[in-house]
Amino acid sequence: MIRLENLTKVFGMPGSGITAVDRVSFDLPAGEICVLLGPSGCGKTTTMKMINRLIEPTSGKIFIDGKDVTHIDPIQLRRSIGYVIQQIGLFPNKTVADNICVVPDLLGWDRRKSRARAAELLEMVGLQPDLFMKRYPKELSGGQQQRVGVLRALAADPPVMLMDEPFGAIDPINREVIQDEFLRMQKTLRKTVIFVSHDLDEAVKMADKIAIFRAGRLEQFASPEHLLSNPATPFIDTFLGSDRSLKLLRLVQVADAMLTAAIVRPGDPVARARELMHNNGQPAIVMLNGEGRPSGIVAASRINGQESAGRGSTAEGRCREVAEPVRVTVPVKADLRSAVALMFTHDMPVIPCVDEDGKLQGVLTYRSIVKSLANSKIAA
Amino acid sequence: METLQFAYDNISLIGSRALEHISIVAVAVSIAVLTGVPIGLAITQSKRAADLVLYLASMLITVPSIALFGLMIPLLSPLGYGIGYVPAVIAVILYSQLPIIRNTYTAIADVDPALREAGIGMGMSPLQRLRQVEIPLAIPVIMAGIRTAVVMNIGVTAIAAYIGAGGLGTFISRGISQTDPRQLITGAVAVSILAIVVDLSLAFVQKLLTPKGLATGVAA
C-alpha cells in the first residue's frame, strides 16, 4: 500500500548539506500500522512528511497504492491522506463539527452528509454529538481535543493516515485510553497508518510493523515480536533496552502461555495435591468448586512446611483445610505483562486463568511465562 | 458656565462639524484598511519586505501633522486640492498605515504554526488557509490596530482645520486666533468625547467580529 524506494532527503546544498533521510525503503501492506521509531533527529518525521509532500524528497520514490505521489497534485494528495499532529492543531475559530468537517468541506461534500459523518465519528469515541458538535476547541479537555484531532483526520475516510506523535501531548492515563480506543477503531477501519513515535512501549502496543531509524537510516523494519526477539543491530539492542523481554510480555496473550491446570476438589486428600505437584512440577494446585471456578490454592510451601513441622495429621487431611483463598485471577484475554504484574503484587507463584464467566481455563507459572517468551523468540 | 452656554447655543453647529470630522476620519481610515490590511498580509511572505515596509510606515508617523499638511499644499496645489478636505483625508490615510499594517502583520505572523501545519497537511490552499484560519484568528488584533488609527486620527483631523478641512478643529483654531476660551474648550472637549465614543463603538464591533471560539480580544 505504501512503498518507499531509496527515499532520501538532504537539507541544504547537495554534497554539503545534512542528510536527514538516507536511502530508506520499506513496503507497508494495506490495513497495517507502521510506527516510525527512533531518537529525535533520526529522520522519522521527515520521512513521514515526505509521504504527503510537506517535504519534497531529494531522491527516491514514494508509492501509495502503486501511484507515485510526485505525480499527484500536493493539495489533492493531502486531502486524500488523514493527518494528525502532536499539537493537535484544532482551529479555535471553528466548532468541533466544523473542525472535523474541514476536509469534507474542502472536497465539497454535501453539508448534511458531512455533519452526519461528524456525528457518527464523535459517537465512535464516546463524545455525544448533540453536546459536542457546537462546542469550540477551548471548551474541550486535552483528551477530548486529541480525539477530535484524530476524528478530523478520519472524516473523509482516507485509506491512509499519517500521525505525528499523535498522543504525545496527553497524560499517561488518557494516552493509554486513547491508544486502546484507536486500536479498537482500527480493527474495523483497517487504515494504513504511518505513526511517528519516540516511545517504544507505544510502538510495541500500536504497531503491526516497527521501523527503527537512526541518523536518517532505517535500521530495521519488522513486526514488534520479531524486533524484540531478534534485534538486527547492536544499536537496536541498546535502544530496546535491557528490559526488552519484558516488553515482549505485552505481545503474548495469557491464553497462549497458560498451562493445562491440574486441579483438586475441596474434598480431595492433601496427598492427592502433593502427588499432582510432584508429577507436573508446579508450585501450587488450584482447587475448584462445583461451578468450575477457582475456590482456593493449595501451595507446596504450605503442605511441605506443615510436614516438616511434624503435623503430619493435617497434611494427610483434606485440601479445603490447607487451601489459601484465591486472591486474584487473570482473564485469558489479558496480556502476559499484566499477568506478571498481578503475580508480583499478590505474591502468587501460580495464577489461575479464567474465562469471562470466571471458570478456570488454565494456570500461569513463572516457568510457563519464561518458556512462552523463549518460544516466541524461536517463532519470530 | 459661559462655555456651556456657548456649546448649548451652537449645538447644531457642533453636530455638523462633528459630522465633517467623522467623515474625514471614516473615509480615510476605510481607505487605509483597504490598503493597509493587504499590505500587512503581503509582507508576511518576506521578512525583508516586512522590515522595510514597517520602517517606512514608522517614519511616516513621526512627521508632525502640521508639517505634513504644509508639505501637501505645494504638492497638491497643481491639482487644485492644496487645502481642504482632500489633503486632510490623505494625511489620515498615511498616518493610519502603521497601526493597521503592523497589527495585520503581527497577527498573521503570530498564528500558531501548528494551525498552519494542520491546514497545509489537510490540503488547504494558501488562500483557503488565509480565509478560514489566519484572518479569523487575526481579526481581534487587526481591529485593535484600526481602533488605534481611528483614535489617533481624530486628533490629527482636529489640526486639519488649519488647512480648511472643517471639523471640530475649527472651534479650536478660532478659539486660539480670537482668544475665545469658550470656542477653544468646546472644540477640545468635543474632540475628546468623539474619540472616546468612537473607540467604544469600535470595541463593540471588534467583539462582534471576533470568532466565538476565541478568547476575549487582544489589545493593540
Contact A52 B121 (CB under 8 A): yes
Report CA B115 to chain centroid distance, whole Å: 30
- Interface confidence, given as ipTM, is 0.81
Q: Which of B117, B122, B129, B214 to mutate to test the interface with A (most CBs of A within 10 A)?
A: B122
The span from the CA of B213 to the CA of A95, in Å, is 7
Give the contacts of B124 (CB within 8 A, at least 6 positions apart): A75, A102, A106, B132, B133
- For B:174-213, CB contacts with A below 8 A are 211-213
**A83 touches B: beta carbon within 8 Å:** yes
CA distances (Å), origin A131, targets A127, B97, B136, B212? 8, 44, 24, 17
A-B CB pairs within 8 A amount to 73
Span B55-82, pLDDT tens digits:
999 999 999 999 999 888 999 998 888 8
CATH 3.40.50.300 fits A2-243, yes or no: yes
CATH topology identical between A2-243 and A254-379: no
Q: Which of A93, A96, A106 to mutate to test the interface with B (most CBs of B within 10 A)?
A: A93
Q: Which CATH class is domain A254-379?
A: alpha beta
Q: Would you give per-residue pLDDT tens digits along chain A (380 residues)?
A: 899 999 999 998 767 788 999 999 999 999 999 999 998 889 999 999 999 999 999 999 999 999 999 999 999 999 999 999 989 999 999 999 999 999 999 999 999 999 999 999 999 999 999 999 999 999 999 899 999 999 999 999 999 999 999 998 888 888 888 999 999 999 999 999 999 998 888 998 899 999 999 999 999 999 998 888 888 899 998 888 877 777 888 888 888 888 888 888 888 888 888 888 888 888 888 998 888 889 888 888 777 655 544 444 455 688 888 888 888 899 988 888 888 888 888 888 889 999 988 889 999 988 888 888 777 655 54
Report CA A278 to chain centroid distance, whole Å: 38
Q: Domain ranges in chain A? A: 2-243, 254-379
**A89 touches B: beta carbon within 8 Å:** yes
**β-strand pairing of A2-11 with A18-28:** antiparallel
The span from the CA of A205 to the CA of A68, in Å, is 31
